[in-house]
Structure 1
Amino acid sequence: MKLNTAITLPAEWYPQSAVQLTWPHEDTDWFPILEEVIPCFVAIAKEIVKREKLIIVCRDIETVKEQIGKTDYSRVIFRTIPSNDTWARDHGPISVLKRKKPYIYDFQFNGWGLKYAANFDNMITTGLYSELVFPAYVKYENCLDFILEGGSIESDGKGTLLTTEYCLCAPNRNEKLYFEEIENRLKRMFGLRRILWLSYGRLAGDDTDGHIDTLARFCNEETIAYVSCRDKMDEHYRELKLMEKELEDFRTLEGKPYRLVPLPMAEKVEWNGERLPATYANFLIINGAVLVPFYNSPRDEEAKEILQQVFPDREIIGINCLPLIKQHGSLHCVTMQYPEGFVL
C-alpha cells in the first residue's frame, strides 16, 4: 500500500487556534443534572478563552452567555446548531494537513455503535463548515462512509497513531471492514507510517468501547501517559496490567522504548449504583496549559503533579469533572481542538 506522506494528523500539543465545546441543553441527557454540569462547562470555557479562541455550538447564545458570565467574548465564536449531546471529541471535525494545507475531515458518528441518538450530532461538522467558522482556505472532506470518533485515536504528529482494537474494530462501527482494511484506510487518510494497536484496556462504565483517550495518551513523540492500576482487588487490575505490558513492548520510530508515565487509577466513582469511567488520562492539552479532570479525590493532586513533570512548560489546571463523569465521559471527551491556522 502506498502511503501519502504529505498528510499530517497534528499532535494535540501543537499550537492551536481554537477549541470547540458543544453546550448542554434541556434536550440532552444532561437535563436531570443540567444545573450541576453547567459550571463544569463554564470552567473549561474560561480556561480556554484565556489562551485561545473558543467555538461554542449551542441552542441559544444568550442563555449560554448568562451561564458563562464575564469573559472575553471577542475570543468566543458562537454557532446555533442542533445537537443531541455534548461530546465534541467524537462528533466534531478532525483536523489534518494535506501538503501543509488545512482540511477538516467529516466522519460519520453513530452514537458509539448505535447506543444513542446521533442524528443532529452527526451534522455538526457540516454545520460548522457551512456557518463559516473556518476560513475559506480550510477545505472540507466528506468521510461519512467511515465511522470514526476523535476520542478513539491519538497522534504523535509524525506518522504514528495509537488506538485500541476493541473500539476501532467493533462490529457496531464499520462492520463490513476487516482489520486490515480499517488499518489501511487509516494509514491512507492520515498519512500514517504505522499504527500502534492496544488489545487490552477498558474501564468499567465506558460506553465508547474503549476510547484511547481514557487509557493512554501521547504527551510528546517519546512519552505516553497511561492509566495504571496497582490494586490487585480492583476489577481493572488485569486488563490494565496487560495494557501496560503492550505499551512496554511498543517502540518509537527510532526504535527506542517509550518513556511511560503511569497515572493513578482514579478512586472509584459511582452513581445510581454504577461504577463510572473516571480517568486522569482524559486531560486536554491547550496553548500553555493542560486541563486535567478532577474527581474530588486525594489522587487528583497526585495526577496533577505527575503531569506537571511531563509538561514542565505548561500550567496544569484541575477542573471538577464529577458532574461530567455521570454521563460516562470526561474533560477531553467534551472538547475538540483545532490547530493553528484553522480558525482565525
Structure 2
Amino acid sequence: MFEYRSNRQYVQPNRLMPAETAPHEAAWMAWPSGSYTLGERPADADEARSTWAAVANAIVEFEPVHVLVPPSERAEAARFLDPRVRVHERMLDDAWYRDIGPTFVIEGEGPTRSLGAVTWVFNGWGQQEWARWEHDAVASHVAVDATGATRIDSPMVNEGGGIHTNGAGTFLVTETVQLDPDRNPGWTRADVEAELARTLGARKVIWLPRGLTRDSERFGTRGHVDIVATFADRGVVLVHDQRDPAHPDHEVSRELIELLEAERDADGKPLRVVRLPAPATLRDDEGWVDYSYVNHFVCNGAVIACSFDDPVDGEALAVLADAYPGRRVVAIDARPLFARGGGIHCITQQQPLLHP
C-alpha cells in the first residue's frame, strides 16, 4: 500500500484536466462481462449488453467511441454495437471504464500542447470483498497506448467517478472516497489536493462530505461525486435534489446544496447551484434507490442522459437542456445500469480534443 506525506513538495506541471463540456476526440467504454453484470439468465445478459450498447451507439452519432471487449464477448459485442464503434480486445473484470480507465489531461499550451493520461491505482473501490480487479487494474493502459498519451502514474487510489472539474482548476470530490482508509490509508486532505494539483492541475478542491445512501452501501462506491454533483459550466454546478423527506437522500441533498451555495471556485467567484430533481421513484427490490439524473455524459453536441420511466423524467431532462444550451439531450433508460451499480457517466470516459 502506498504511503503519502503532505510535506512532499511538487513543482506543479503545466497540465490541466479539461471540463467534460470541452470538445472531445473520442469517448471510451468497457463491455459488460462480469458475472453480476451479465446475471444468471440469458435475458439478464442481453439486458446488460443492450443497455451498454445503447449508450455507445448514442454517443457514436456525435463522436468516435472505443470499447474494450473481452475475447469471450467479441461476438456478442458485434451483435449489439454500431459498426462505427471501435473494439479493443482486452480481458476485463468489470465494465465501469470511468473508474478503471485513465483521466486525460492537456499538457502545455498552444501548438506544443500534448495529451497526458493519469493512471490511478485501482483496487476495487476500496478492496470491496465482492470486487475483482486483476485485469481492471491495468485496463487504463489500453486507452493510453491507443492514444499515444504520455502516461502519468499516480500513487493515489482513485476512480474517474470520484472527481469532477470545471476545466479551470476547480474540482469536486467526496471525503468518503479519496480519504477512504481502504483506498488511501493515512492520506490527508492536503495529500489528496497536492496529488490532484500535480496530476490534473487542481487549484481549488471542494470537499463534499458524502455521496448518496445506496452508493454508500455494500455494493456501492462509497460515495462517488458523479452521482451527486457536476459542473455544467465553469461556475455552474448541478446538484442532485431529493425533494421527498421520506428518502434518506433528502438530508444528503440539503447538506450538499447548502455547502455548494456557500463555496467559491478557484478564481474566488461564487458558484451558481442548479437543483436537478431526483426521480419520484424512491425504492426498488433492494431498498432506497440512488437513481440520479446527475450521472449523465456530455459529448460533442449532446448530453446522454439517464431516464427511469419516472414522472420526473421530463422535468429533469428540461433542466439538462437549459444547463447545456445548444446540445441535444438523448435519454436512455438507465435502470439496468443502476441495478448493476452505476449509471451512464460511470461507463464512459472522455478523451479531450488536443487542438480544438
Alignment TM-score, normalising by the size of structure 1: 0.91
Structure 2 SS opposite 1:29: helix
Partners of 1:250 and 1:21 lie apart in 2 by 33
CA contact (8 A) 1:28 1:85 kept: no
Correspondence for 1:21: 29
Selected match of 1:156 from 156, 166, 170: 166
Partners of 1:118 and 1:256 lie apart in 2 by 40
Correspondence for 2:104: 95
Partners of 1:149 and 1:85 lie apart in 2 by 14
Q: 1:30: how far off?
A: 2.5
Structure 1 SS opposite 2:244: coil
Q: 1:205: how far off?
A: 4.1
Q: 1:120: how far off?
A: 0.9
Amino acid at match of 2:252: E
Selected match of 2:202 from 188, 192, 208: 192
Deviation string, structure 1 residues 204-255 (Cα, Å, up to 9, x no partner): 2441111110000001101000111222222112221111100110113443
Q: 1:24: how far off?
A: 1.1
Amino acid at match of 1:318: A
Q: 1:256: how far off?
A: 3.2
Partners of 1:65 and 1:35 lie apart in 2 by 13
Correspondence for 2:14: 6
Correspondence for 1:125: 140
Q: 1:153: how far off?
A: 0.5
RMSD: 1.9
Deviation string, structure 1 residues 70-92 (Cα, Å, up to 9, x no partner): x352xx22111111110111000
Partners of 1:133 and 1:277 lie apart in 2 by 34
Q: Do the aligned partners of residues 205 and 197 (structure 1) sit closer, same or farther apart at CA in structure 2, a change above 3 Å counting? A: closer
Structure 2 SS opposite 1:133: helix
Q: Do the aligned partners of residues 17 and 305 (structure 1) sit closer, same or farther apart at CA in structure 2, a change above 3 Å counting? A: same
Q: 1:141: how far off?
A: 2.2
Partners of 1:48 and 1:187 lie apart in 2 by 30
CA contact (8 A) 1:217 1:224 kept: yes
Structure 1 SS opposite 2:56: helix
Partners of 2:339 and 2:26 lie apart in 1 by 26
Selected match of 1:84 from 79, 82, 93: 93
Q: Do the aligned partners of residues 16 and 256 (structure 1) sit closer, same or farther apart at CA in structure 2, a change above 3 Å counting? A: same
Amino acid at match of 2:231: F
> How many residues get paired?
333
Correspondence for 1:67: 80
Selected match of 2:124 from 111, 120, 132: 111
Q: 1:333: how far off?
A: 0.4
Partners of 2:99 and 2:210 lie apart in 1 by 21
Correspondence for 1:36: 47
Structure 1 SS opposite 2:79: helix
Deviation string, structure 1 residues 27-78 (Cα, Å, up to 9, x no partner): 453233212222211211111111111111002433211123xx352xx221
Partners of 2:265 and 2:188 lie apart in 1 by 26
Correspondence for 1:251: 264
Structure 2 SS opposite 1:106: strand
- Summarize the alignment of residues 175-324 of structure 1 with structure 2, pairs less than 5 Å apart: 175-206=185-216, 207-268=220-281, 270-324=283-337
Misfit runs of 4+, over 4 Å: none
Amino acid at match of 2:100: H
Structure 2 SS opposite 1:181: helix
Unaligned runs of 5+ in 1: none
CA contact (8 A) 1:201 1:215 kept: yes
Partners of 1:335 and 1:63 lie apart in 2 by 19
Correspondence for 1:327: 340
CA contact (8 A) 1:49 1:72 kept: no
